[in-house]
Chains A and B, each alone.
Chain A
Amino acid sequence: GAVVSQHPSRVICKSGTSVKIECRSLDFQATTMFWYRQFPKQSLMLMATSNEGSKATYEQGVEKDKFLINHASLTLSTLTVTSAHPEDSSFYICSANELYGYTFGSGTRLTVV
């Protein structure tokens, strides 16, 4: 079946630095990928929809300059958390839309210290 690989699985960074998270579709082409954020004991909140070759569509309240999304190819989307702060610490999950549904990556636990 379809597989989405997300890296890194865990990252700890210092406040003020930037962190890049990669999401790759391994055996299919994903024209659309989605980025979610999940705070502890909460649901997944859609941050943005990433479309190959075009600008991402951000949900209301999500800062596009802080959460940079690039979808340069049909198999790779990246989320860069710029100038990270402790309140950005969260679980970030990507997913990709393929023929038979939506496939999720395994998530990235970001801790900003």
Chain B
Amino acid sequence: AQSVTQPDIHITVSEGASLELRCNYSYGATPYLFWYVQSPGQGLQLLLKYFSGDTLVQGIKGFEAEFKRSQSSFNLRKPSVHWSDAAEYFCAVVDNNNDMRFGAGTRLTVKP
């Protein structure tokens, strides 16, 4: 079955520092991949998605992600983190049944 793994449960970075959140997927074909952000008690906001084409995907709020088939990865990056970026980040994959399945999430803390 298709699945997505986020190996980092919690990451702390200083404001202004760069950020990379890891995501690995298990899928036989080219997957549909997504990154969402969730603030406490809130719904999900889509940051970016990958279906096909250019493997470097630009999203909202200055985020980008790169699809690397050889590494089965879709890591999320941001060059300079802002305090408002503190939240929970979820990587997701759409499986053969068009069901979206989520990784465990990575909680981002931003230090002043």
Contacts and interface: CB of A to CB of B under 8 A. Distances in A.
Interface residues of B, number: 20
B99 A105 contact: no
- Main secondary structure, interface of B, reads strand
Contact of B43 (A34, A101, A102, A105): A105
Interface in A21-57: 32, 34, 36, 41-46, 49
Contacts of B46: 101-102
Nearest to A95: B100
A107 B100 CA distance: 16
B102 A44 contact: yes
- Main secondary structure, interface of A, reads strand
Nearest to B6: A43
Nearest to A108: B43
A85 interface: no
Contacts of A107: 42-43
A43 B43 contact: no
Interface of B: 34, 36, 41-44, 46, 49, 90, 94, 97-105, 107
Interface of A: 6, 32, 34, 36, 41-46, 49, 91, 93, 95, 97, 101-102, 104-107, 109
